Amino acid sequence: MEFLLDADTDAAVRELWDTLSAHGLPSQNRVRSASNRPHITAVAAPRIPASVDADLGAVAAELPVAVLLGAPLVFGGRTSTLALGVVVNADLLGLHRHVVDVVDRHHEDSAVFDHCRPGQWTPHVTVARRVHDDDVGAAIAVINRARPQPRAAVATLRRWDPDTRTEHSL
């Protein structure tokens, strides 16, 4: 499940993707899927059944929710993922908990990955993946100069189905 951003923030993040690429750096604009868009992952799980859609209508009715985009984040590994942090607030945390609760009700076991559970979730908007160590500093400098205005909103809830490679906006 993903929280999609308002149109202005979506466009500004895409512009940031383009700016990274213009500097020869990795960017999410390299992902060619038509469904690739700036988002905040709310819940990741091995599978999220379509049956959640009806119950998530109440969650979608809570939108929009104001958020602030924060400082760049670096998630390390063999290569790094760079993101814009999302400053949490009570409305966003409540929305997130509501989504997790709905997804949990549709699974007999606990399918939501631990890193997406309330208290362990780090909301963020990914701007680049597979960034090599030598490029992290340059990429952070570009992000700091070109990042979008902090005021944003979660405008839409989306379920991505990786099996059928389809998106379902709620």
Q: What is the rounded distance in angstroms from the CA atom of residue 19 to the CA atom of residue 67?
A: 23
Give per-residue pLDDT as tens, 33-46. Answer: 777 899 999 999 88
Q: What is the rounded distance in angstroms from the CA atom of residue 152 to the CA atom of residue 17?
A: 17
For residue 30, give the DSSP letter. G
Ordered by where they begin, the domains of the chain are 2-160 (3.90.1140.10)
CB atoms within 10 A of CB 4: 20
Burial of 15 (0-12, 13-18, 19+ CB in 10 A): middle
CB atoms within 10 A of CB 76: 10
**pLDDT reading at 108 higher than 80:** no
Whole-prediction pTM: 0.92
User: Please, which pLDDT band fits residue 110 given cuts at 50, 70 and 90?
Assistant: low
Query: How confident is the prediction for the chain on average, in pLDDT?
Result: 92
Which pLDDT score is estimated for 102?
92
For the chain, state the CA radius of gyration.
Answer: 16
